[in-house]
């Protein structure tokens, strides 16, 4: 897979924020996904703070039946400090290496993290979408910014996630009676479509199948490296 928007690696938080401020203007909020989304790639990472290692995983599934098309994982050393709002600069380098190793370009990327639901409206899902040029979604397990009402208790119920009066995502119930997930747009997809795709990818569990597969691969890869 090619990277269409490259940038230097920052060495300080200030430089990282400048990159986010510059690149967020490239985020496309229009629906530019293929009419039929056939393949989706899940992205996730696993850390070992003691060793300074990070494992990144990219797993591509077919949306029909969730067959694994291909999977790639990479282990590297964390190259950026822990800074809230700047996680992408820790996770993106190995994630991009895993994406580059894929033989097929997916129709959609699903990140374990946030997109517009970010203080500067440029979370990991936005960042990976802009640099790859692919439609992307962020699906977070916990809230990072904003406030919301509790969605209904049944699958498909949702409530807007608001930050400063702006809708930055949706709080989506993927299964009856389980905790909701936080869905936000990354790039080239609408929030409505993003929620629809997340429900499609989560037929049985709280998290999308893409995230479940990528999480498992990242953890296994890190365990082997250690």
Report the binding-site residues for Mg(2+).
Answer: 44, 112
Q: Which residues are annotated as a binding site?
A: 44, 112
Contacts 24+ apart (CB under 8 A), 173-179: 174/198, 174/199, 174/202, 174/205, 174/206, 174/207, 174/208, 175/202, 175/204, 175/205, 175/206, 177/153, 178/206, 179/206
Q: How far is CA 56 from the centre of its chain?
A: 12
CB count in 10 Å sphere of residue 14: 8
b/e per residue 163-183 (b: at least 16 CB within 10 A): beeebbbbbbbbbeeeebbbb
What is the token pair recorded at 54? 């990070």
Residue with structure tokens 């990144």? 56
């Amino acid at each position: 897979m090619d990277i269409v928007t490259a940038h230097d690696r920052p060495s300080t938080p200030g430089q990282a924020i400048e990159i986010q401020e510059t690149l967020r203007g490239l985020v496309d909020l229009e629906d530019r996904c293929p009419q039929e989304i056939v393949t989706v790639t899940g992205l996730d990472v696993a850390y070992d703070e003691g060793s300074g290692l990070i494992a990144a995983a990219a797993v591509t599934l077919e949306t029909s039946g969730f067959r694994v098309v291909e999977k790639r994982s990479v282990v590297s050393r964390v190259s950026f400090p822990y800074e809230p709002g700047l996680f992408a600069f820790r996770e993106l380098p190995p994630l991009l290496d895993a994406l580059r190793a894929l033989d097929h370009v997916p129709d959609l990327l699903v990140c374990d993290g946030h997109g517009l639901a970010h203080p500067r409206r440029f979370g990991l899902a936005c960042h990976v979408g802009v640099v790859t040029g692919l439609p992307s979604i962020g699906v977070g397990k916990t809230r990072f910014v904003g406030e919301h009402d509790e969605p209904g208790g049944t699958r498909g119920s949702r409530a807007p996630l608001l930050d400063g009066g702006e809708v930055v995502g949706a709080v989506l119930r993927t299964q009856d009676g389980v905790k909701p997930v936080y869905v936000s747009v990354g790039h080239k997809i609408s929030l409505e479509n993003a929620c629809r795709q997340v429900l499609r990818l989560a037929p049985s569990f709280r998290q999308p199948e893409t995230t479940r597969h990528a999480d498992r691969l990242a953890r296994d890869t890190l365990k082997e490296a250690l």
